[in-house]
């Protein structure tokens, strides 16, 4: 008679918020899989559902609460984790039937809560699965060809509109050898694009004194520039260099040192810099550095060194005290800065943020009007910059390949080096070869453009 093995408990996951939270979800699921759990793609098949929440803005909190409510209605056995886990009383008051609430990056606590809610089946056949090491990545929630590489947690800034330090604590950098080993394994297993993320990538290693660690026989400092150089030296099994994209980069002076690495081809020529505003008075109220003129000079120098560099940023409109003159200053600054990719947000009070008590709140209708104007301005800049790329041949990474149409033509969607996944534009390709697959990096002749996207065809040799 054949031995019947016990079925593994199944875990469902709802992951909300930023890429850093997505990495947390991947690590939690990897640990649970190592503990013998399997994953469920729907509510009905799960023995317990994890909701990884976002608590940065009130609107994000409402989305998180809605997701918790849906999981309870559809499944009933719910564990809450993530940034909003810091507001356990709010969650339990609204949903007393929640099984457990844990905070951001509390991996051990959430795994223990799952163990209690749906104990793993102990078996000499199932219990031989080794546990994943703390710094190893297993389950991915992104496509195989790109991966988020989180280098630190927390933040040492005290921006008036932000509560990240309250949610995730002060800066806590990972060991550089652990980061590089993880990156090496990701690239070896098929990752063609590494997206470096943290709350403050430029500050990496400050908290640990830029402590050097041995990596393949060479000491490497825990510093952003050293990390960038080492990541740029990685190679896939086929010898190709992966794209390495830097996110959440505060423009500290040492950022200048990574621009030559982009010009050399070691890094993807792309910087995601959270400027937030340009008006000196608004930046001071936000408790942000107010050196916008110097930033413009540095942008010009960066473009001289690496003409193809793409700069993305985000801005807050309607911050308390923002006058029409402040907002016009921002629009004029954007005309000079000519940023490639821009996101804008209407100011929203966040419980616990010092900005909530600032005087001269901006009326909602004014926020809406300013939001519309900044989006119109940045769309026009983007359209002009993309139009200038028509006729050029650019490298494009393939994200998705379509099915043949009635004429047998196959289309595909990809991204240029100026486009990060989920937040930037896309490159739409026509008549791609049937062998084309996600993760392929192809040369594309750009034939057309609009305000946000490019259109073209693969260059055949």
pLDDT tens across the length of the chain (461 residues): 444 445 678 899 998 877 777 878 888 887 787 667 888 888 988 999 999 998 777 788 889 999 999 999 999 899 999 888 888 888 999 999 999 998 876 777 888 888 888 887 654 433 433 334 444 445 566 788 999 899 998 888 878 877 777 777 888 999 999 999 999 999 998 999 999 999 899 999 999 999 999 999 999 999 999 999 999 999 998 899 999 999 999 998 999 999 999 999 999 999 999 999 999 999 999 988 656 658 999 999 999 999 999 999 999 999 999 999 999 999 999 999 999 999 998 998 877 778 878 889 999 999 999 999 999 999 999 999 999 999 999 999 999 999 888 888 889 999 999 999 988 999 999 989 989 999 999 999 999 999 999 999 999 86
Question: Under CATH, which number does the domain 146-387 receive?
Answer: 3.80.30.20
Read off the tokens for 160: 């008036």
Parallel, antiparallel, or unpaired for β 10-15 and 454-458?
Answer: unpaired
- Phi, psi angle pair for 204, to nearest 5°: -50, 130
Q: Residue 292 has what pLDDT? A: 62
Q: Binding-site residues, please?
A: 18, 54, 83, 155, 159, 162
Binding residues for [4Fe-4S] cluster are 18, 54, 83, 155, 159, 162
Q: Where are the domains of the chain?
A: 10-117, 146-387, 393-458
Q: Which CATH superfamily is domain 393-458 in?
A: Nucleic acid-binding proteins (2.40.50.140)
pLDDT at residue 155, rounded to an integer: 86
C-beta separation of 21 from 54 below 8 A: yes
Calculate the alpha carbon distances from 170 to 179, 196, 198, 244 in Å: 19, 19, 12, 26
- The CATH code that applies to domain 10-117 is 3.40.50.12160
Closest CA to 393 of 315, 449, 456: 456
CA distance linking residue 431 with residue 448, whole number of Å: 15
The burial of 44, by beta-carbon neighbours within 10 Å (0-12 exposed, 13-18 middle, 19 or more buried), is given as exposed
């Amino acid at each position: 008679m054949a031995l019947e093995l016990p079925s593994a408990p199944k875990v469902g996951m709802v992951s909300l918020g930023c890429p850093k939270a997505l990495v947390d979800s991947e690590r939690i699921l990897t640990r649970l899989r190592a503990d013998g759990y399997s994953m469920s793609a729907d509510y009905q098949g799960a023995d317990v559902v994890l909701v990884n929440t976002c608590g940065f803005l009130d609107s994000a909190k409402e989305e998180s609460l809605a997701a918790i409510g849906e999981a309870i209605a559809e499944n009933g056995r719910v564990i809450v984790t993530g940034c909003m886990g810091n507001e356990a009383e709010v969650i339990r008051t609204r949903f007393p039937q929640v099984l457990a609430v844990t905070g951001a990056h509390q991996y051990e606590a959430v795994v223990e809560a799952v163990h209690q809610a749906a104990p793993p089946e102990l078996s000499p056949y199932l219990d031989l699965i080794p546990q994943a090491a703390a710094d190893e990545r297993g389950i991915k929630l992104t496509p195989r060809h790109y991966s988020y590489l989180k280098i630190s947690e927390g933040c040492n800034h005290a921006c008036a509109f932000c509560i990240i330090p309250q949610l995730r604590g002060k800066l806590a950098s990972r060991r550089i050898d652990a980061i590089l080993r993880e990156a090496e394994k990701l690239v070896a297993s098929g990752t063609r694009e590494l997206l470096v993320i943290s709350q403050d990538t430029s500050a990496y290693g400050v908290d640990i004194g830029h402590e050097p660690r041995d990596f393949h026989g060479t000491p490497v400092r825990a510093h952003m520039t050293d990390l960038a150089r080492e990541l740029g030296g990685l190679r896939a099994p086929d010898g190709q260099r992966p794209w390495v994209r830097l996110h959440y980069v505060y423009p500290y002076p040492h950022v200048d040192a990574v621009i030559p690495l982009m010009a050399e081809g070691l890094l993807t020529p792309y910087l995601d810099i959270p400027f937030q505003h340009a008006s000196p008075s608004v930046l001071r109220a936000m408790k942000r550095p107010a050196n916008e003129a110097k930033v413009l000079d540095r942008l010009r120098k960066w473009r001289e060194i690496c003409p193809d560099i793409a700069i993305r940023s985000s801005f807050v409109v309607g911050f308390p005290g923002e006058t029409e003159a402040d907002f016009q200053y921002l629009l004029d600054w954007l005309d000079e800065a000519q940023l490639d990719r821009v996101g804008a947000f209407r100011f929203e009070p966040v419980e616990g943020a010092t900005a909530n008590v600032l005087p001269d709140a901006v009326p909602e209708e004014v926020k809406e009007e300013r939001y519309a104007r900044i989006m119109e301005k940045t769309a026009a800049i983007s359209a002009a910059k993309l139009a200038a790329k028509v006729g050029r041949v650019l490298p494009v990474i393939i994200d998705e390949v379509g099915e043949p149409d009635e004429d047998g033509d196959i289309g595909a969607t990809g991204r240029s080096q100026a486009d990060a996944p989920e937040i930037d534009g896309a490159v739409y390709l026509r008549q791609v070869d049937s062998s084309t697959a996600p993760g392929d990096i192809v040369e594309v002749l750009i034939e057309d453009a609009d305000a946000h996207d490019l259109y073209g065809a693969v260059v055949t040799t």
